[in-house]
């Protein structure tokens, strides 16, 4: 499984000839440096509806003629915009062609703002994405919560991608606890330094992980890690 960081919480994940993008916030992300038109994928996966995750989802799904896989209410919103969708919900998993998706809890909110309307985006979620014998846990936006221990007990997670930005999600201290609770040997920090409110010292976070015997992998935009 090859994981490429596209800034904020966006990951391109490739394996076994398939590729998916999670939370494709590219346009409007000051750090992305990637054009939606350059993204070639078999599916777009969303953790929740907020604009810094939903991002270029519709355009990428249209250009690739691929489905958007999302919490069901968010999938329904996407369907109204003319893309193929698969609406799932927390606790549910599905084996797609070449990859498996399981939706997990996340403690956050989920809505879209369209003009002066606020649209309910379904429950926010995390994603367990399995390709071959490797599993990535993308926590989405979330607070630290105790059931992360259960997620860690029930799944062999090879890499956990965790928000560390604080303010809207866990900060680095809680994320370091989450890393231990989900029993991940490697952690990729997400959701930091995109905006002033979520500036963090990622090197200090990785040093804290190292004390717990966990490898912190702070990828720069468009850098990849193979697990």
Contacting positions for Ni ion (CB under 5 A): 50, 141
Complex with Ni ion: residue 8 or 102, whichever CB lies closer: 8
Alpha helices in 93-222 (DSSP H): 148-154, 172-181, 202-211
Complex with Mn ion: residue 14 or 141, whichever CB lies closer: 141
Q: Which does 73 bind (CB under 5 to 8 A by kind): Ni ion, Mn ion, none?
A: none
| Burial class of residue 149, CB neighbours in 10 A (0-12, 13-18, 19+) | middle
Complex with Mn ion: residue 123 or 141, whichever CB lies closer: 141
Contact partners, residue 176, CB within 8 Å, separation at least 6 = 205, 208, 209, 212
Q: Which does 23 bind (CB under 5 to 8 A by kind): Mn ion, Ni ion, none?
A: none
Complex with Mn ion: residue 99 or 103, whichever CB lies closer: 103
Complex with Mn ion: residue 87 or 165, whichever CB lies closer: 165
Closest CA to 198 of 74, 52, 86, 85: 52
The answer to whether 83 and 60 are in contact (CB under 8 A) is no
Instruction: Say how far apart CA 23 and CA 52 lie, in whole Å.
Output: 8
Query: Shortest approach of Mn ion to residue 103 CB, angstroms?
Result: 17
Query: Shortest approach of Ni ion to residue 108 CB, angstroms?
Result: 6
Query: Shortest approach of Mn ion to residue 36 CB, angstroms?
Result: 18
Instruction: Say how far apart CA 26 and CA 69 lie, in whole Å.
Output: 18
Query: Shortest approach of Ni ion to residue 18 CB, angstroms?
Result: 26
Query: Shortest approach of Ni ion to residue 46 CB, angstroms?
Result: 11
Residues that bind Mn ion (CB under 5 A): 50, 52, 141
Instruction: Say how far apart CA 180 and CA 213 lie, in whole Å.
Output: 9
Alpha helices in 107-224 (DSSP H): 148-154, 172-181, 202-211
């Amino acid at each position: 499984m090859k994981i490429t960081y596209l800034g904020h919480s966006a990951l391109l994940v490739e394996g076994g000839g398939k590729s998916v993008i999670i939370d494709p916030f590219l346009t409007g992300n000051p750090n992305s440096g990637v054009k939606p038109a350059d993204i070639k994928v078999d599916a777009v996966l969303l953790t929740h509806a907020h604009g810094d995750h939903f991002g270029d989802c519709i355009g990428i799904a249209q250009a690739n003629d691929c489905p958007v896989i999302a919490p069901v209410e968010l999938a329904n919103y996407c369907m109204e915009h003319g893309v193929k969708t698969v609406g799932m919900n927390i606790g549910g998993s599905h084996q797609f062609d070449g990859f498996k998706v399981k939706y997990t809890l996340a403690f956050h909110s989920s809505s879209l703002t369209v003009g002066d309307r606020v649209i309910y985006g379904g429950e926010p979620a995390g994603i367990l994405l399995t390709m071959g014998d490797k599993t990535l846990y993308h926590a989405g936006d979330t607070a630290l919560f105790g059931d992360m221990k259960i997620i860690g007990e029930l799944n062999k997670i090879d890499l956990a991608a965790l928000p560390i930005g604080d303010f809207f999600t866990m900060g680095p201290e809680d994320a370091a606890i989450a890393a231990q609770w989900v029993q991940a040997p490697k952690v990729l920090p997400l959701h930091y330094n995109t905006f002033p409110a979520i500036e963090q010292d990622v090197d200090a976070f990785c040093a804290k992980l190292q004390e717990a015997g966990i490898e912190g992998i702070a990828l720069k935009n468009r850098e990849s890690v193979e697990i």
